[in-house]
Chain A
Amino acid sequence: NAGVTQTPKFRVLKTGQSMTLLCAQDMNHEYMYWYRQDPGMGLRLIHYSVGEGTTAKGEVPDGYNVSRLKKQNFLLGLESAAPSQTSVYFCASFDRPDDEQYFGPGTRLTVT
């Protein structure tokens, strides 16, 4: 039981490049969230999904897109990376809104 995994662990992009971050969970959870964490700050919700085929915007969605084609996977895309998107990205999954959230190990993204 791997829990929540994230791919890749590290990435350096140049401004304007695109990439996709993959979050995978093997716990059959309905809810999946993408957060970003900047130095000295808490986590901010980017986009979320309440089930396969659904997505919704969180607090800071601009510059990102997401897809949840399969229940176990939640993809976060950056179409045209900007230095302001340099951050650590965490994915979380859970079954109900009051359940504990299981977090992945994070993806450290630097945009130069």
Chain B
Amino acid sequence: DAKTTQPPSMDCAEGRAANLPCNHSTISGNEYVYWYRQIHSQGPQYIIHGLKNNETNEMASLIITEDRKSSTLILPHATLRDTAVYYCIVKSSNQAGTALIFGKGTTLSVSS
């Protein structure tokens, strides 16, 4: 699986959009980009994933560049409850026993 690079930390004001970048320059054609987050000591929570096209769900939007070498997770209106570690993960979709490889992630701090 391709490696990802994320900034170690980011700050965001409550109510503003949080834009979390991820670099995955070695991604291959069958690998998806997944985003999970982990709120202090809880189990990881799925946010969104995509292959090529931009994706949106009730939690966030995922923007993937045309060359697929980087992506941005957008939380449109961050709240205090969005304070968490956010993980960008690249994973092949079709292999059993392939674990999610969580790197160090980005610690997002949302403040009022």
Q: Most A CB atoms within 10 A — which of B32, B46, B99, B100?
A: B99
Q: Is the CB of B100 within 8 A of A43?
A: yes
A-B interface contact total, Cβ < 8 Å: 60
B77 within 8 A of A: no
A interface residue count range (under 10 / 10 to 19 / 20 to 34 / 35 or more) = 20 to 34
CA distance A100 to B55 in the complex (A): 14
Give residues 56-112 of A contacting B (CB, 8 Å). Answer: 56, 58-59, 88, 90, 92, 97-98, 100-106
Secondary structure of the A contact surface, majority rule: strand
Q: Is the CB of A100 within 8 A of B96?
A: no
- Our pick among A45, A98, A105 for the contact of B99 (Cβ within 8 Å) is A45
CA distance A106 to B39 in the complex (A): 12
A93 to chain B, nearest CB (A): 11
Residues of A within 8 A of B103 (CB): 42
B43 to chain A, nearest CB (A): 3
Residues of B within 8 A of A31 (CB): 96
Q: Is the CB of A43 within 8 A of B98?
A: no
B50 to chain A, nearest CB (A): 11
B112 within 8 A of A: no
Secondary structure of the B contact surface, majority rule: loop
CA distance A35 to B96 in the complex (A): 15
- Given A104-B43, A106-B41, A42:B96 Cβ within 8 A: no
- Given A43-B44, A100-B49, A106-B41, A33:B99 Cβ within 8 A: yes
Residues of B within 8 A of A58 (CB): 97, 99
Can you list 6 A-B contacts (CB < 8 A)? A45-B99, A48-B97, A56-B97, A98-B32, A101-B46, A106-B43
Given A4-B43, A42-B87, 18 extra CB contacts under 8 A: A33-B99, A37-B102, A40-B104, A44-B99, A48-B96, A48-B99, A56-B96, A56-B97, A58-B99, A88-B41, A92-B43, A97-B94, A97-B95, A98-B94, A100-B34, A100-B46, A101-B44, A103-B45
